[in-house]
């Protein structure tokens, strides 16, 4: 058994134990015995999220203590980011998706199959090359990272979408918890796109969980408050904290001067190759302040734009910006 299969088997054993010991009895008690399959899938997300939280609280915490970019002075803002992280990493958001967009996606797939459509098995395109677990995983990881890059460009380039995504950039104190600071509607759009792409390219559910988990861990690292660059060579292969911090830099990384949310640099989520190909890469080693230009006080002393300090305020103000009322 190769290492990938061994890891998958051990994860499957843990998922089965957690489901039979905790989730299944709880679902029966709540009258949810008719959706046990969805509950089993949700257990996989929960288990993967718990493993990620452990990494966040150990490895990434140690990195931030090792070489912090700046002292954390706004503890309240970080605590709100922890709430976002727990909602996403412990599967609460995914459970909601299971009963909405995921169900819609699978229903649509079933209807399309009736008309002869079959998922495009991407890992079957190169027999002998992609028939191993590692090669197949890497191919799918590249495809989903390209999709993520295009989504990210859309979040910055399409005005209404930016009004939601701006919440992510409003954090002035980047830490390992900042990755999931997003408007929930923004996450619904992104996850909806991912769900349909996953079905279209034929990725297995277990493999999809692993792809998302790998992406989330690297995103947590790239947002961490650590002075860390991967150098001139490896820095072109994987997004580093230095590379992504520039994307969050006020008035530079995610916006062109005087152009609001347009333009910018370093949109890649995992692999800088997409920025290099599409001309949006900037390899400068900068560790400047992060946030949004309109958060800063105006020249006349007026306070900057309010993006909210608490979870619900941030969600409400995002909708208000979308409606042009904030």
SS (H, E, C) the chain: CCHHHHHHHHHHHHHHHHHHHHHHHHHHHCCCHHHHHHHHHHHHHHHHHHHHHHHHHHHHHHHHHHCCCCCCCCHHHHHHHHHHHHHHHCCHHHHHHHHHHHHHHHHHHHHHHHCCCCCCCHHHCCCCCCCCHHHHHHHHHHHHHHHHHHHHHHHHHCHHHHHHHHHHHCCCCCCCCHHHCCCHHHHHHHHHHHHHHHHHHCCCHHHHHHHHHHHHHHHHHHHCCCCCCCHHHHCCCCCCHHHHHHHCECCCCCCCCCCCCCCCCCCCCCCCHHHHHHCCCCCCCCCCCECCHHHCCCCCCCCCCCCCCCHHHHHHHHHHHHCCCC
pTM: 0.87
Cβ–Cβ < 8 Å for 269, 148? yes
* pLDDT in single tens digits along all 326 residues of the chain: 666 678 778 888 999 999 999 989 988 988 888 878 878 888 888 888 899 999 999 999 999 999 999 999 999 999 999 999 998 888 666 665 555 555 566 666 666 666 665 666 666 666 555 556 777 788 889 999 999 999 999 999 888 999 999 999 999 999 999 999 999 999 989 988 888 888 778 787 778 888 888 999 999 999 999 999 999 899 999 999 999 999 999 877 666 554 444 568 899 999 999 999 999 998 887 788 999 988 988 887 788 899 999 999 999 999 999 999 88
- Cα separation of 171 and 149, whole Å? 21
- Cα separation of 99 and 38, whole Å? 8
Label residue 232 left, alpha or beta by phi (over 0 means left) and psi (-120 to 50 means alpha).
Answer: alpha
- Cα separation of 215 and 207, whole Å? 12
- Cα separation of 173 and 80, whole Å? 12
Beta bridge partners of 249: 290
So what's the pLDDT on residue 100? 55
User: Rounded to the nearest 5 degrees, what angle is found at the Cα of 292, between the Cα atoms of 286 and 297?
Assistant: 115
- Cα separation of 322 and 183, whole Å? 11
So what's the pLDDT on residue 96? 59
Q: Which two tokens stand for residue 233?
A: 């060579």
So what's the pLDDT on residue 258? 46
- Cα separation of 81 and 308, whole Å? 12
Tokens 């910055």, located at residue: 156
- Cα separation of 150 and 196, whole Å? 15
So what's the pLDDT on residue 45? 83
Burial class (CB in 10 A: 0-12, 13-18, 19+), 222: buried
So what's the pLDDT on residue 85? 93
- Cα separation of 12 and 45, whole Å? 12
* Distance set, CA 273 to CA 138, 197, 210, 266, 268 (Å): 14, 21, 21, 10, 8
């Amino acid at each position: 058994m190769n290492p990938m299969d061994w890891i998958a088997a051990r994860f499957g054993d843990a998922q089965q134990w957690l489901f039979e010991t905790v989730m299944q009895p709880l679902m029966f008690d709540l009258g949810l015995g008719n959706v046990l399959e969805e509950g089993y899938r949700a257990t996989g997300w929960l288990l993967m999220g718990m493993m990620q939280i452990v990494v966040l609280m150990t490895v990434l915490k140690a990195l931030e203590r090792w070489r912090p970019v700046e002292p954390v002075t706004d503890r309240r803002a970080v605590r709100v980011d922890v709430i976002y992280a727990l909602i996403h990493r412990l599967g609460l958001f995914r459970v909601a998706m299971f009963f909405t967009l995921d169900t819609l996606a699978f229903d649509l797939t079933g209807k399309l199959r009736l008309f002869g459509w079959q998922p495009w098995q991407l890992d079957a395109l190169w027999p002998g090359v992609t028939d191993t677990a590692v090669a197949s995983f890497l191919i799918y990881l590249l495809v989903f990272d390209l999709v993520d890059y295009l989504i990210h460009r859309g979040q910055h380039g399409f005005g209404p979408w930016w009004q939601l995504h701006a919440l992510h950039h409003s954090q002035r104190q980047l830490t390992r918890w900042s990755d999931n600071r997003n408007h929930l509607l923004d996450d619904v759009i992104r996850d909806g796109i991912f769900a349909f792409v996953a079905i279209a390219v034929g990725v297995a559910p277990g493999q999809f969980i692993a792809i998302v988990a790998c992406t989330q861990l690297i995103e947590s690292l790239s947002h961490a408050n650590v002075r860390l660059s991967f150098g001139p060579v490896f820095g072109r292969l994987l997004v580093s904290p230095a590379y992504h911090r520039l994307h969050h830099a006020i008035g530079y990384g995610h916006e062109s001067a005087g152009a609001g949310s347009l333009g910018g640099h370093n949109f890649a989520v995992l692999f800088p190759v997409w920025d290099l190909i599409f001309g949006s890469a900037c390899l400068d080693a900068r560790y400047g302040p992060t946030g949004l230009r309109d958060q800063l006080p105006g020249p006349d002393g007026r306070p900057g734009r309010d993006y909210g300090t608490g979870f619900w305020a941030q969600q409400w103000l995002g909708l208000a910006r979308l409606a042009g009322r904030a």
